[in-house]
Amino acid sequence: MSKQTVVEKSQEKRLEALLNQFEFLTETIDEYTLLLNKVENEVISLFETLNTNKRGRVRLTYKKALKLSSIKELKSKFNNGDGEMFNSLIVNLDIDKSVEALKYEVNVPEPIVKAFELKLKNLKELKVPKLTLERKIDDE
Give the residue from 140, 139, 137, 136 showing the smallest Cα distance to 30. Answer: 136
Residue type, 51: N
**Residue 121: pLDDT band by 50, 70, 90 thresholds?**
confident
pTM of the model: 0.55
- Phi and psi for 89 in degrees, rounded to 5? -65, 140
Q: For 114, how many CA atoms within 13 A lie in the half-sphere containing its CB?
A: 3
Q: What is the pLDDT of residues 33-83, one digit of tens each?
A: 999 999 999 999 999 999 999 999 999 998 887 788 888 888 887 776 677
> In whole angstroms, what is the distance from residue 45 CA to residue 52 CA?
10
> In whole angstroms, what is the distance from residue 59 CA to residue 29 CA?
23
Give the residue from 24, 42, 20 showing the smallest Cα distance to 32. Answer: 24
